[in-house]
Every structure is written in structure tokens, then in C-alpha cells.
Structure 1
């Protein structure tokens, strides 16, 4: 997709216009973005945002592709952030009210990327509602809206992300923005898997820059694949050119985090094994103690039952003996002929009964002891 040359008015400074046109005309394939960024870099160090209009006008005159426009706008927005240039505001939008479509789209690109670089999720989500109404089919606008929604933990974030990467004009810059949004979306259960999937798409298109490997390292760390994560972050550090000190620090912090997480993971596994072994030993000891106690109680119950049975048998034996004695003594009494013989027989019965009760008391007391 190319820009319509008639869509944007020419910049205000004709000499600057001529110089830029000459450089762009001499630029080879793939060099026009670098020429634009180099030419406009001094302007982003000022308070004026007129470089945004120069960028959109040059894009229209030279029929830059949307991928080139998005890359140039993103790179210049990053430089503007480093120089502390102000954010685009309401006055900048009012100045373009009813203006050319490309002017407003490039301003949206720059404004959105500035909000993204400073992690202004709520502001970006609020602005993206207006941009989606005007530029709804644009892949980068969808990506910026997804970034704001994912960072704000909005329920629309994942839908906007999928819509952005599925857009027909989605390019590497769009996917980078979406991957950056996923990096903040730790509320998604499959965050790491989505990041790896998108990074594979970027690598398949040849977009092998340091940030891709940096994001991959973060995703692999979350999945516990620490050795692969270290390989990826080391590759990102190796690819980073000089002068990117803040980014380099981010990469080194990620590497330290991977190493620390791996160590903590190892400690946790070791502690789990130790706790498991200790718990098993305690459980085995308690089972043995419970088994011994149960055995003792069973044996005690058996003793009680045995002693009780013997006691009943002994008492029954005494009663049988008593019965036999009484019956025998009764027969003697019946057969006695004189009063003296009967008195003697009755005395014998009485002595026998007393002797029986004495034996019965002895048996019960002995068993109790």
C-alpha cells in the first residue's frame, strides 16, 4: 500500500523540501527510512512538532509504503522521547481538523508511539477510541489500541491484538507493538505462549532485531525454560549496537532475572524433595506407632476376653460342684433316720455352702487382681 501524493500539502520550507527530496531520490531500496530519520532528527530536539507534517508530506510525494511511514514515525517518536520533546496535544489535533487523512494518521502514529514508549496505557486506550473511529482498519492503530488495552488489563485487549495481527496490512512494526503489549499482559494465562507464537511470526518475516529475542527470553523464563531463555537474551545483547545504554540495561536486568529465577526454581525443587522425604518419614513413623498401639490394644482385649471366659468357667464349675454337693447332702438328709443324723447332715450342707461361697469370693478377687 502506497501513499497518495495528492493527499498531503507540501511543507512550508521549499529549500528543506528540495534537500530532502534530493536525498530521498538518491536513496537506494530500504534506505529511505534512514534518510528521513537522519534528516528530521535535529527537529525532534526542538519544541516544535512541525517535523510530523514534513514526514507525512515527504511520504506522500515519494509514495512511501505504509511500512516505511510507520517505521520512520516510530523511530522519530523514540528520538523525540529521548530529547524530551512534548507530547502531541489537543492543539496539534485541532490544527489538522478536517485536514488530509495522511497528516492525521501520521500524527496518530507519533502520538500513539510516544504514549506507548512512556507506558501511558490509560491515555493510549482513551485516545485509541477516537483513532479507531477514524482509522479503524489501519493495522498499527489497532496494534496501539491493543497495547493500551492489554496494559490496562482491559477485556478488549486480546480481541484487539488478534484483529491487529490478522489485519491485511499488518507489518513487523505492528507485530512489535502487539508483542510489547503482550509483554505487559501478565493477566493472560497463556501470555508466554502468545509471545512465542508472535515472535515466531516476526522471525519468519525476517524481523530479527534484538527486541524480538529479548521478548522471547522473557516468555521462555515464564515457562521455566531457563537455558533457552539465557541463549535468547545473550543473543539480544550481542545484537544491540552501541549507544543504547538504557536498552542494554533492560536486557542485562532480564538476564539477571532469568538466572535468579532459575536458582529460586532449583531451591524450590530441592526444598520440595526434602519436605517430601521428611513427610514420608514422619508418616511411616506414625503408621508404625499407630500399628503398635493397635496391636497392644488388641492383645489387651484378648487377655480381658480370655480372663473373663476363664472366670465364667470357674464360677460355673463351682456352681456345678455346689449343685452336686447339695443334691448329695439332700439325699443323705432324706435317708437319715434319727434327728441327730439329720442335724449332722444339715450341718454338713451348711459347711459346704459356706465353703462354696468362700471359694467363689477367692476366685473373683484373684482374677480382679
Structure 2
């Protein structure tokens, strides 16, 4: 696989676009020119565009986002575009489609944009909209907050198999927010937490669903991210030393969490492990020891712990011990702050991860930079580990 990341951009994930009187159109109009400038290309160079988004119809009533992209950036008029939806992995599936376009030889430069506007309604309504990515009418039917309820079920299943210490989840959250404090675009960069905020204090850290507490759960976020991906020929013409998408993994399982958990085997989620192994193989990477940075999906703390084990960073059942021993820092896990700290505008997350991975391996990640990073992995999950997409970026 030879696709190059020329550059990209993201919006400030702390912003509430609805309160500013702005929406998806304005997100496109802001992030795309910034990404083009960072990549050193013009809109006229773009051969194809891909947009990642989960639920614009539910949150804003707006579909046909490819046309909205042209409305925001008129110079893209005539450029073919496709919108991709795979729950929280929507952005990464847009990235893979763009990579396929470039590898096929149809186009030499692709624009990928991920976008989600979610703070224009109250938290309960937002949770209901996001619940559309679960199995409607079959799971989390009586839950007030569908996704915290489903990932609480993941925590229960993990506990039954291995034993789960909630303190390890608290440590994962503390790491996320500490990293976010160094990221000038993070939603939680200015948040302050009193002593006890990551423990079992029902006032400071109330239970949301099941065993999951407030700090275990990602927040509703507005935001967009964009990257420019190029063929080898186009990148060579520019003459730069660009990071390369060296490999990927992409698998999809049954939409129902119960059905996924019933598969058995060495790993809790075989499809998650399969996508990881596919990426290692395609990128010719021996395994997690070859990674300098990992941007993994931590919409909930339990998601992050499970991901660590399926990446092979910790053996199954030992993710909590790895966290307690300080492994998150030494392994370069989510220096951006991850979804918990940086924020999770659903359709933008996979694109943002790729952008951050490229910045890390080029040494341009600023305050979040992992020293000497040359190889980075992204792991983006849609639904209850239903859609899994991994990429490996090298330089």
C-alpha cells in the first residue's frame, strides 16, 4: 500500500458551533481550506472527495453532504464525492475509500473530510440520535443512554472473563485528560478535576449506566477534520518527504453486542483482533513493539482497555495491569488526549486520528509530540466493536 498524507487540519473540538450560529457548512468552509494550505495544494488539484459522517440527518436534518461540501468550498464544484457512514468509524471508512481510489489509479489527490455537529441539542436527545448506530429495537431498548449501557455490558463481559478493577479504568481516564491538557485543540484542555474525581465517589464521579461512571464516558463534541491523500506520482511531483499509509485492517461483525460476545475464542472480539493483525501484515510491521504512537478508540475507558489487549500491547486480561504500571505513557498511547480528552465528533474521529498520526511521524505534533516517533497506528471502532478500522502510518 502506497498512499501519502500530504497534510491536514482539524477544528477546535472545544467549540459549540450551534451557539456560534454555525453548522456543518461552516465546518467544511473552515477545515478544508486549512487542510489544503497545510498540504500545500489547491482545491483545483483535488480529484475526488470523501466525507465521513454518522447522523447529520438526525442532528441537523441535512443529508447530501457532498453537495454541502461544494457549497462551502465552491472551488470543488464538479469533484466527485461520496459520503460514508459506519457509526464512529465513519471517518476511517472514508479514508479507506480514498486510499482505494488512489491505488486504483483513478485519481492522484483525494480530500477526506470527517464532520459531526452534535451539540445543537440536549444530551438526552443527542444520546438517542447516537443510539441509532446500535441494533434498533433489539438492544439498549430501556437504557436512558444507549452507548454507556452497551459498553457497561462490555465491562461486565470483560469482568466475567478476566476480572476488572474499576481503578484501572480511572487511571486510563486520568491519562487521557492529562494528555488533553497539552493539546490546544482538545475539548477538555481546560477542564479541572478535584481529588477523587476518577474514583467511586458518587457525587464527583456519578454512575451513568451499569458500572460506568462519568469519567469513563466520552462527551458530546462538535468538530471536523480533513486530510489530503496522494498517489506516489503526485507526492513525488511535490518533492516532499511525506508520511505513508503503509497498511490497514477493516472488518465488520454482527451489529448486536450479544451476538459478538457469543463468538468465543482467545480474544473477546475476534474481528477487532483480525483487523489489527491485517494492518500489521499489510504494513510489514512485526507487532506492537514496532509502534511509537497509538491513537486508539476510547469512547469509553473500557473500550481503550479492550483495544490495548487486542493490539497485542498487553496480553488478554492484563490491560489493567499494563495501565497501572504506567504503560500508557511508555507506549505512546493517545498523546492527543484520545476521544475522552480531545473529543469525539463521531464522523470526524477517524480522519482526526490519521491527521494526528501523520503529524507524529513528521515531528510536527507540537506539545503532544512523542519524541522520535516514526511509526504510528490508528484504531477506530464503530458501534460495539461492529466496524473496526486500523491504519499504520510510517515515515
When normalised by structure 2's length, the TM-score is 0.25
When normalised by structure 1's length, the TM-score is 0.26
Compare the two structures and name the one with the higher strand fraction. 2
Using CA pairs below 8 Å that are at least 6 residues apart, which structure has the higher relative contact order?
2
Larger radius of gyration: 1
